Amino acid sequence: MAMDADDPQVEHIPVLAEALAERIDLPQDGVMVDATVGHGGHSLLFGERLGPRATLVGLDVDEKALFRAAERLKALKCKVVLLRCNFREIADQLDAAGIGPADFILADLGINSAQFADPQRGLSFQVDMPLDMRIDKRIETTAADIVNEADEKALADLIYEFGQERGSRRIARFIVQHRQNQPIMTTARLASIVAAALARPGGKWRRIHPATRTFQALRIAVNHELENLKALLAAAPRRLKGGGRFAVISFHSLEDGLVKADFKANSAAGVYDILTKKPIVPDRCEAERNRRARSAKLRMARKR
């Protein structure tokens, strides 16, 4: 597979790594599946504890991330298998690669820091970028396609449902008005339209930039994030050994709600024991060191 590296200056700091390391012990010859290998930070942490008969599988949709992971994991003693795929296809991909049930499956959802900073991806409104938002370049519809083509109601519903944004109708109306003059093709233009829609006379911004929730909504829609997570949650029980652990780190309440409900249903059905009654969150020290960690929630379950 021909792969490009992303910006080596942008380092992704693994979130809740210590919390995971304290709670997960792997057998020397175990199988770990990192469903979101990213730059391989979590994989390296666990891979260093694995012996030569163990297998570490890393999945990612982003070939640039896989390139970084391959570099980082190349000195490990265990067998390392990196697959460019969406974790919603985890069952078929592991079958095709001949990987049996795992001792540990980890999903650290969302995006890595290099993707956020990458000017080609259009994930940030702090720097002006093309309005793209695709983590996987094989996806056809970009954020600009949605913003310029969806009707006003569909836009409002999407921003409300995936961004939990109460001003969604006003934002959708502003977007439709502004795109009539000229298509909205950059992150900065969209952010300024959203900010204008939510501006209150003499008012100050809330704790977060006014465009944050709209950008979250578009990113979730473009990358089908919630459908992907549902498919991973559905596939996980069959890909775990008895006693195998499943850990999911999520970054917003829509994801966390799906994980919580799935663990609860599987616990009631006798499939999982829930290991985290309440989600584990970063301590103050980690939240100060790593801004991205602030909204992280870790839930873990063990297959019976």
Ligand X SMILES: C[S@@+](CC[C@H](N)C(=O)[O-])C[C@H]1O[C@@H](n2cnc3c(N)ncnc32)[C@H](O)[C@@H]1O
Which residues, numbered 228-267, are part of the site for ligand X (CB under 6 A)?
228
Q: Of residues 19, 31, 33, 36, which one binds ligand X by CB under 6 A?
A: 36
- Site map (CB under 6 A) of ligand X, residues 66-95, x = contact: --------------------xxx-------
Beta strand spans in the chain (E): 31-34, 55-60, 79-84, 102-108, 240-250, 272-274, 297-303
110 touches ligand X (CB under 6 A): yes
Residue 248: C-alpha distances to residues 23, 27, 132, 135, 289 (Å): 13, 20, 26, 19, 21
For residues 214 and 250, which CB has a smaller minimum distance to ligand X in the complex? 250
Q: Of residues 111, 155, 175, 221, which one binds ligand X by CB under 6 A?
A: 111
47 touches ligand X (CB under 6 A): no
216 touches ligand X (CB under 6 A): no
Tell me how far, at minimum, the Cβ of 64 lies from ligand X, in Å: 9
147 touches ligand X (CB under 6 A): no
Q: For residue 140, what is the DSSP state?
A: -
Please give the Cα distance from 57 to 79 (Å, whole number): 8
Tell me how far, at minimum, the Cβ of 191 lies from ligand X, in Å: 23
Please give the Cα distance from 183 to 4 (Å, whole number): 30
Q: Of residues 32, 42, 260, 298, which one binds ligand X by CB under 6 A?
A: 42
210 touches ligand X (CB under 6 A): no
38 touches ligand X (CB under 6 A): yes
Name the percent of the chain in helix, strand, coil, to the closest 5: 45, 15, 40
Name the one range near ligand X by CB under 6 A: 34-42, 94-102, 190-198, 293-301.
34-42
Q: Pick from 263, 291, 304: which is nearest to 107 by CA?
A: 263
Retrieve residue 227's tokens: 């459908």
Return the exposure string of 283-292: e unless at least 16 CB atoms fall within 10 Å of the residue's CB, then b. Answer: eeebbeebeb
Angle at 146 between CA 145 and CA 148, to 5 degrees: 70
Residue with tokens 């089908």: 224
122 touches ligand X (CB under 6 A): no
Residue with tokens 């990196």: 82
Q: Of residues 32, 33, 57, 65, which one binds ligand X by CB under 6 A?
A: 65
For 256, the enclosing helix (H) or strand (E) is helix 253-268
Please give the Cα distance from 255 to 276 (Å, whole number): 16
For residues 108 and 262, which CB has a smaller minimum distance to ligand X in the complex? 108
For residues 226 and 275, which CB has a smaller minimum distance to ligand X in the complex? 226
User: How many residues bind ligand X, per CB under 6 A?
Assistant: 22
For residues 40 and 237, which CB has a smaller minimum distance to ligand X in the complex? 40
For residues 56 and 172, which CB has a smaller minimum distance to ligand X in the complex? 56
Backbone angles phi, psi at 56, to 5 degrees: -120, 120
CA 75 from chain centre, in angstroms, equals 26
142 touches ligand X (CB under 6 A): no
Q: Which residues bind ligand X (CB under 6 A)?
A: 12, 14, 36, 38-42, 59-62, 65, 86-88, 108, 110-112, 135, 228
